[in-house]
Amino acid sequence: MQWKHFNGEFLSNDLHTEVEDVLTCEKNAGNTLRVCIGSDSQVKGKIIEFATAIVFVREKRGGFMFIATERIRNKLSIKERMLAEVNKSIETTYQLTSIFNRFGIQPEVHADINTSHKFKSSTAFAEAMGYIISMGYCFKAKPDAFASSYCANRAVQ
């Protein structure tokens, strides 16, 4: 996946270097960061477009994000698609875990899954929550999952 800033500009370095640089810079500036990672998807004909967002939230000072998108040609049920989103978020978080640990950051993994049974995405709720928690990450679902529901969603609309 090619990672970009929200404005569409590609990252100058690989993701690990960029995240480490961000965390170092923010720490040196005295900012407390919360890192949230989430994915969303959109079906467009026979193509499913996925977006993953790494959101850096400064305590009382705004935030910024890195975004990566990917397209696949595949037919997935709603449950399979929700779990594929969660998997993309977990993969990204797992790649960066050693950096987060060095900086004492407990990342949140956000799932674009509704907790209400009125919505189709709720069929994947138990599996998604179990997967994220079993990996040792903090789990957030709608309406608290802004990294997936709002940030990643912007990249696939």
Radius of gyration of the chain (CA): 15
Extract the tokens encoding 113.
Answer: 């899954």
Reported as type and span, the H/E element at residue 38 is strand 33-44
Extract the tokens encoding 21.
Answer: 């640089």
Residues 58-92 as b or e (16 or more Cβ within 10 Å = b): eeeeebebbbbbeeeeeeeeebebbbbbbebbbeb
Q: How far apart are CA 55 and CA 92, in angstroms?
A: 12
Predicted confidence at residue 154, as pLDDT, reads 84
Reported as type and span, the H/E element at residue 66 is strand 63-73
Is the peptide bond between 143 and the residue preceding it cis, with omega within 30 degrees of 0?
A: yes
Predicted confidence at residue 119, as pLDDT, reads 65
Predicted confidence at residue 120, as pLDDT, reads 64
Predicted confidence at residue 25, as pLDDT, reads 96
Q: How far apart are CA 30 and CA 81, in angstroms?
A: 39
Extract the tokens encoding 108.
Answer: 């949140």
Tens digits of residue pLDDT in 119-138: 666 677 788 888 899 999 99
Question: Which segments of the chain have a pLDDT < 50?
Answer: none
